[in-house]
Structure 1
Amino acid sequence: MPTVEEVIEIAVPVRTAYNQWTQFKCFPRFMSVVKRVEQINPVVTHWVIGFGPVRREFKAEIVEQQPDSHLVWQSLERRPCLRGRVSFSSVAPDRTEVTVWIETTRPGLADTATNALGVTRRVVRAELRNFKEYIEGVGEESGAWRASIHNGHVQPVEPEPPRSRVPRWPVG
């Protein structure tokens, strides 16, 4: 099974990076291969992805999710079978390391050639750079989903009090 692992450091806190990553419907804003994402329920999403003339649709299930730490997913279709993990690690109060790991089993000669040429790795690397540019440019998440998921069961996390905004200049 071909696997891809890419790591990038982003100049935002872990919470900000994680919160933005959970906003799947926003992925088409910054990821060129993601055309549409629909959240069917808290653990299932429907994805439309495309690269050049090729378009694929699949449903993915979030198998495990821990706020500010990681999420693990797998496609619900058998062909192609996709599995992935996204991990978030704080490297400083305002810096996060994001690691994306994807494993695929795809039928067919064209997909074997795509993996052999490293196209999947280049696409994942480019999309991570797009995410970095987007969240660093905006500076804050557009929303958040703060529950944990274990074996398909959603466990709400206690809400955090709203963050106070500190003015950038003295008010007086």
Structure 2
Amino acid sequence: MARSKSSDTGTTDKRESGNGATDGLPVDKLKEAGQELLQALMVKALKSATGPVKDMAERLADSGGGGAKAKMAASGVESLQEGKSPLKAGLKAGMTGAKETAKNVVGGGGGGGKGGGEDEAKVINIVEKFDVGLPRRVAYDQWTQFAEFPSMTSKVEKVEQESDEKLNWRAKIFLSHRDWESTIVEQVPDERILWKSEGPKGYVDGAVTFHELSPDLTRILLVAEYHPDGFLEKTANLWRAQGRRLRLDFKHIERHMMTRTMLQRDDIEGWRGEIRDGEVVKTHEEALKEEKQADED
């Protein structure tokens, strides 16, 4: 009993003396050192438990800048403090890095204003061409049948021609729909069509030209500039999804011309008017009248 009492008394004395010694220590510095040690342990645990996840998280952090990397590390440390496994902590850190990276890219690196570099990064330039076994006039006339674009492409749902130079488009983008308006800036029969567009969720400016390789062979050249606007469009633009979609629809138009248009070439009637600087300078009827007069002469 005496030994037990002596032991208890000694323990109590040590505890009391320990509390007194702690009062003079730099507790804040010890906490910071502990946090740094915890971060180092997290990295070590991630390396041993899930190398691929850690590598992916570091790549995301490096592409997102210092802010993304810091938030990713903090997220992983927090997960480990909550008692989660190193694998789950790594996954959470990777997701945090991915979110921050997307915000930086979509929002222009987190800057307050819009600069020229940001606009250039958002735009996708697309240049495509194909050759069709059709006379240049037939290929051009088919292209001017804008109301048929829903049947020629896979995502265009509706095209309404408000006037000779104004077009309203509607297309399906993922699970939603997008509307935009195009204005034909210049249109010269059998040669070229240039347009500008505007829409609340992105738009496409561009030009299409027609080049005669032989009397029955025409080369069609498309130059498009896609401007994403809106979170969904900008996020998808990171993977160039819209650019691939536009190229795919261009292939659909090629297939349509090589099949249906070729079989019905004598029935294709295009718009033969002329547009300059966004205004009609020659109507379809005037153009047909001039062609008829030229044939008679």
- Residues 25 and 38 in structure 1, CA contact (< 8 A), matched pair in contact too: yes
**CA shift for structure 1 position 85:** 0.8
- Divergent runs of 4+, >4 A: none
Is the helix fraction higher in 1 or 2?
A: 2
Tell me the residue number matched to 1:146: 272
Cα pair distance change 1:114/1:96, threshold 3 Å: farther
CA RMSD in angstroms, aligned pairs only: 1.9
**CA shift for structure 1 position 132:** 1.7
1:117 matched to 2:239: yes
One-letter amino acid of the structure 2 residue matched with residue 158 of structure 1: A
Tell me the residue number matched to 2:226: 104
- Residues 171 and 178 in structure 2, CA contact (< 8 A), matched pair in contact too: yes
Tell me the residue number matched to 1:158: 287
**CA shift for structure 1 position 9:** 1.3
TM normalised by structure 1 equals: 0.84
User: 1:68-105: CA deviations, max 9, x gaps?
Assistant: 11111111446524311111111221111111121122
1:78-93 equivalence runs, <5 A: 80-93=202-215
One-letter amino acid of the structure 2 residue matched with residue 147 of structure 1: G
Instruction: Using CA pairs under 8 Å that are at least 6 residues apart, name the structure with larger relative contact order, 1 or 2.
Output: 1
Match of 1:63 among 180, 185, 196: 185
One-letter amino acid of the structure 2 residue matched with residue 130 of structure 1: H
**CA shift for structure 1 position 30:** 1.3
Where 1:83 maps in the other structure, the secondary structure is strand
Q: How far apart are the structure 1 equivalents of 2:176 and 2:213? A: 37
Tell me the residue number matched to 1:18: 140
- Residues 10 and 96 in structure 1, CA contact (< 8 A), matched pair in contact too: yes
Q: How far apart are the structure 2 equivalents of 1:129 and 1:72? A: 20
Query: Which stretch of the first structure deviates more once superposed, 108-117 or 7-16?
Result: 108-117
**CA shift for structure 1 position 121:** 2.8
Tell me the residue number matched to 1:169: none
Q: How far apart are the structure 2 equivalents of 1:20 and 1:96? A: 12
TM normalised by structure 2 equals: 0.50
1:127 matched to 2:253: no
Q: How far apart are the structure 2 equivalents of 1:50 and 1:8? A: 25
User: 1:133-164: CA deviations, max 9, x gaps?
Assistant: 21221211632101110012212253235xxx
Where 1:87 maps in the other structure, the secondary structure is strand
**CA shift for structure 1 position 42:** 0.6
**CA shift for structure 1 position 43:** 0.6
Q: Which structure would you say has the larger Rg? A: 2
Cα pair distance change 1:118/1:91, threshold 3 Å: farther
Query: Which stretch of the first structure deviates more once superposed, 90-99 or 115-124?
Result: 115-124
Where 1:158 maps in the other structure, the secondary structure is helix
Where 1:41 maps in the other structure, the secondary structure is coil
Q: How far apart are the structure 1 equivalents of 2:162 and 2:241? A: 29
Count of residues in Structure 1 that have an aligned counterpart in Structure 2? 161
Query: Which stretch of the first structure deviates more once superposed, 41-50 or 78-87?
Result: 78-87
Tell me the residue number matched to 2:128: 6
Percent of aligned pairs with the same amino acid:
27
1:73 matched to 2:184: no
